[in-house]
Structure 1
Amino acid sequence: MTSAAKRNLKLTLGAALLLLAVGCLQPPAQIEISGRTMGTTYSVKFFPPTNDFDPTGLQQEIDRRLVEINQQMSTYIPDSELSRFNQSKAGDWFPVSTELAEVVSLAKQINHDSDGAFDVTVGPMVNLWNFGPDHHPEKIPSDEAIAAALANIGDDKLEVRLDPPALKKSVDGLYVDLSAIAKGYGVDKIAELLLELNRRSFMVEIGGEVRAGGTKPNGAPWRIAIEKPIPGARSIQEIVELSQLSLATSGDYRKFFEANGQTFSHTIDPKTGKPLAHTLASVSVLHADCASSDALATTLMVLGPDQGYNWAEEQELAVLFLIRGKDGPVVRRTSLWPNSGD
């Protein structure tokens, strides 16, 4: 072999080794696992330890845990723990899982902090207004029906203990609905699973409620879109960068019905027993855990644009309020929101 040929061979081998080394340094590609849960969809994105990582076992465990949470907290499953408690009589402690007791305990704490704006006992009113599992034709309930349902509503009618875990009601008609906190709790539980498996870079989403862990291998945070509060349309209001944070949004522009020329939101004010009637269209909350983000977003929707803003400031919450202006455009107002100058 000539010296020139040897030189070319060395260059070719060197280039091949360089490409191989670069290939070995490339981080594994992102994996996405998705499915259905809690009447909506879920998505889990993460970066595996190696490119040949098989996510099958992980998806099975995610699905198993989500089924377990549903069996604990769903009002749509007749024999779930929560459904059986809702069907039970008042007076005695009703044994439940630690998870269900923890969620109810958190809900009661937020109820206390918000002076009753967040109330998981509002279930009878949710059903009465056609937004629960007991679906009926869309119509406005009578004042008499609202008054009757209000008699069974109130956080003071619900007790919880953590050891041993149990719930108690003081009226037979008490009906607990955890739809404003359970999705966020499910996000937290799947995030905890990923952390147990040493997956530090991830994004978990259930029905729009999100939690992100770490950053991507290139150091970039996870980027999450917040929608404009426009019924029947999908467009982006803004992008939020998440790392070690949760994000939840509550609004009146997706789930509602129209009757007698009026629009009725699915979020019920527990004090009046009626859908919200203010100008706040959407609330997004950043928090360490997603269960709190989920519940706080609903709380602030109930409180409204002014009282909600003042409460967010008092509680030092990071919140984005989208408020309908008098002439139509949405007005943006923030409390400790990133990149907002607060």
Structure 2
Amino acid sequence: MSKTSIEWLPDSSLQRCRASGATMGTRWSAQFHVPPTRHLAAVVDQLGAAVGAVDAEMSNWRTDSDISRLNHAEPGQWVSVSANLAAVLTRAIAIGRETHNAFNIGVGALVCAWGFGPAGGEQDPPAETTSRPCLPIDAVLEVDARNCRARRHVAVSLDLCGIAKGFGVDELARVLDRHGIGSWLVGIDGEMRARGRKPDGAAWAIAIEAPSFECREAMSVIELGDGAIATSGDYRHWRDVNGERISHTMDPRSGTPLLNGIASATVVAPTCTDADAYATALMVLGLTDGLALARQQGLNVLLVGREGGSIRSSGTGCFDKMPGE
């Protein structure tokens, strides 16, 4: 069920619309400015339908989703998928190559084994002796985007949690672009994308969350124009295993949860799909290798690491002069 509020802006011919709704276990939101003649109900309905479609296509929590059908198909069997899913799988393979397997959507079995999948965290964690690196995703997954189909060459479990929300944000953006709306901010949880400026000329201000386990507070604020931002961190979803906090982010290179001292990775990119995936990859790579990749790829990145009881940040691109570097 979507929620919508509309308010007139003072001294303006525009009205501000705020809309939100449930999706992917969290909420989507949109704020945009339109003339009063716009059919707002149709716009809001299409926003909800867009993210609902992504959830139906890419959620491991739904047994009838496209990704679940692909995961349950026999290896070598082509499975018809949506054009959206074909595009996301194709981009996931490309980013997996660029990040040298740090981003790998074939971590589904690991995610479930450590209690972060649909079954929850009741089961015991796997023994260290059972941990093994994940095969590079381009070696186990083939996508025929032209014909909207995909197949796995081995029985790997695909998990899109590191990219699907970002794609959902891009879908919200596409709805507003189709309606010719030039000033908006959309998001799913902490993944955001913006277009244009507010009617008063101000940029969209996005708070970057501090990597705190105890409370939610802003560490800094960035102004976002035409672009997207995503943050991945160790402080949002974690389990206590034998007195140690275990992150929900898996390292596909070792087959274990992350324990590399990085607290969060924030990426600004043209699309939220890319920002989401690169943020996950940089968490895996850690501070040193993550910064090296960011500079090599020309990415706008803020990485925050833990050192004892303090944090240290380093950035590239638009984050190059962030405090704490």
Same structural fold, with TM-score higher than 0.5 when normalized by the shorter chain: yes
Amino acid at match of 2:145: L
Corresponding position: 1:287 with 2:240: no
Corresponding position: 1:237 with 2:219: yes
Q: Distance in 2 between matches of 1:205 and 1:24?
A: 25
Amino acid at match of 1:118: F
Q: 1:251-310: CA deviations, max 9, x gaps? A: 001110112121110000001111111111011000000000000000000000111011
Bigger share in helix: 1
| TM-score, normalised via structure 1 length | 0.88
Q: SS of 1:121's equivalent?
A: coil
2:51 is matched with which residue?
66
Matched residue pairs, number?
315
Q: Distance in 2 between matches of 1:199 and 1:300?
A: 33
Quote how far apart the aligned CAs of 1:70 are: 1.2
Whether contact under 8 Å (2:103, 2:280) holds in the other structure is: yes
* Structure 1: segments with no counterpart, 5+ residues: 1-22
Corresponding position: 1:36 with 2:33: no
Quote how far apart the aligned CAs of 1:53 are: 4.8
Q: 1:198-229: CA deviations, max 9, x gaps? A: 11100000011000000001111100101100
Quote how far apart the aligned CAs of 1:195 are: 0.8
Corresponding position: 1:214 with 2:199: no
Whether contact under 8 Å (1:121, 1:155) holds in the other structure is: no
Corresponding position: 1:267 with 2:267: no
Q: Distance in 1 between matches of 2:85 and 2:38?
A: 33
1:19 is matched with which residue?
none
Quote how far apart the aligned CAs of 1:338 are: 4.6
Q: Distance in 1 between matches of 2:115 and 2:138?
A: 22
Question: What's the RMSD between the two structures over aligned residues?
Answer: 1.9
Q: Distance in 1 between matches of 2:10 and 2:305?
A: 50
Q: Distance in 1 between matches of 2:186 and 2:134?
A: 38
Which of 135, 150, 158 pairs up with 2:120? Answer: 135
Q: SS of 2:106's equivalent?
A: helix
Q: Distance in 1 between matches of 2:94 and 2:23?
A: 26
2:31 is matched with which residue?
45
Q: Distance in 1 between matches of 2:167 and 2:84?
A: 9
1:93 is matched with which residue?
78
1:335 is matched with which residue?
316
Whether contact under 8 Å (2:263, 2:304) holds in the other structure is: yes
Q: Distance in 2 between matches of 1:94 and 1:168?
A: 6
Q: Distance in 2 between matches of 1:194 and 1:263?
A: 40
1:26 is matched with which residue?
12
| TM-score, normalised via structure 2 length | 0.92
Change (3 A) 1:155 1:137: farther
Q: Distance in 2 between matches of 1:192 and 1:322?
A: 31
Q: Distance in 1 between matches of 2:266 and 2:124?
A: 29
Bigger share in strand: 2
Q: 1:115-156: CA deviations, max 9, x gaps? A: 111000111111111111122415321135434xx5787441
Corresponding position: 1:296 with 2:278: yes
Q: 1:47-96: CA deviations, max 9, x gaps? A: 0112x655322221111122111111111111111111111101122111
Amino acid at match of 1:70: D
* Structure 2: segments with no counterpart, 5+ residues: 1-8
Whether contact under 8 Å (1:94, 1:168) holds in the other structure is: yes
1:249-264 paired onto structure 2 within 5 Å: 249-264=231-246
Identity percentage over the alignment?
35
Which of 88, 108, 121 pairs up with 1:123? Answer: 108
Q: 1:83-113: CA deviations, max 9, x gaps? A: 1111110112211111101000000000001
Q: Distance in 2 between matches of 1:153 and 1:130?
A: 23
Corresponding position: 1:199 with 2:181: yes
Amino acid at match of 2:173: A
Quote how far apart the aligned CAs of 1:28 are: 2.3
1:12 is matched with which residue?
none
Whether contact under 8 Å (2:113, 2:126) holds in the other structure is: yes
1:162-173 paired onto structure 2 within 5 Å: 162-171=145-154, 173=155
Corresponding position: 1:176 with 2:158: yes
Amino acid at match of 2:147: P
Which of 148, 152, 159 pairs up with 2:142? Answer: 159
Q: SS of 2:165's equivalent?
A: helix
Amino acid at match of 2:256: K
